[in-house]
Each structure stands twice: as structure tokens, then as C-alpha cells.
A = this chain, B = another copy of it.
Amino acid sequence: MIAITTDPIDYSSAYRYLQTGEAGAIDFFFGIVRNKTSEQAVDRLEYEAYDNMAIKEMQKIADEACRRWNVLNYVIVHRKGTLLIGEIAVLIGVATPHRADAFDACRYIIDTIKQTVPIWKKEVFKNGEVWVNAHP
């Protein structure tokens, strides 16, 4: 399952979706809004996505993960809109027969999402804001 949503991410329903009798391992990665970046206090984040392309790119990443590892089931959900501290920005979940594949596939997916998926994050501070990674 791959989704971009403006609603809070529901990890319980993601867990239920992943669950299958063959699964011996599930790895979940939560990307969460931290209260600071490089020691600057963050007020909130604004996420924006090029939805249909982002879904396509996430699908490519998921397909590649399924080629490399024995993945029974996966969930990739990214949130967009305004996110406050402590909210889940992204959830990756991978179910596999054995644990090494779950860790490897989950980590591959989040690492690659950060490189190729057209989603952008603006950090809003008390006095200013910045599009992350935009400038050298």
C-alpha cells in the first residue's frame, strides 16, 4: 500500500494491513517532526508533494525492494500539509519471513524516498522559514 495523505498516519491500520501468517518479522520506520533542526527550535513543518509523480516514484522504490528482498507486504504512507512537533511525517512498514530482510528493505525504502520522491519540506521557525535542501 502506497499513499499520500493529509490525515494523521494510523500505524495500527498499517500493522493490520501488513499482518499475514507467513510474516515472522515486521519493521516499522516512523519519520517524526522533531522540535529542532541544527539547534534551531522548529515551530512546524509544511510538506508539499507532486502527488501522482510521488506515488509513481514510491512504487518504483517498493518494486525494487521486492526484487531485492523477500517482502510479503509493505506500507508506505507519507503525509503532507502542516505537521506539528511529534506528528508522523512518514511511515514505512515491511513484513518478511525473516528479520534481516525487514530491516534491509525498510531502510532502503526510506533512504531512497529521501533521494528521489518529489516531496518537499519547509521548516518554519519562530522567525523565518526555509525549504530544506533547496540551497547549497
Contacts and interface: CB of A to CB of B under 8 A. Distances in A.
28 contacts: A11-B11, A11-B12, A11-B15, A15-B30, A21-B34, A21-B35, A21-B85, A21-B86, A22-B34, A22-B35, A22-B36, A23-B32, A24-B31, A24-B33, A25-B30, A25-B31, A25-B32, A26-B28, A26-B29, A27-B27, A27-B28, A28-B29, A28-B30, A29-B99, A29-B103, A34-B97, A99-B110, A103-B107
Contacts of A36: 22
Interface residues of A, number: 29
A19 interface: yes
A102 interface: yes
Counting chain B CB atoms within 10 Å of each CB, the highest count among A19, A21, A86, A106 belongs to A21
Contacts of A11: 11-12, 15
A15 B12 CA distance: 11
A91 to B, nearest CB: 10
A12 B22 CA distance: 23
Nearest to A36: B22
Contacts of A106: 27, 103
Interface string A76-108: 000000000110000000000101001100110
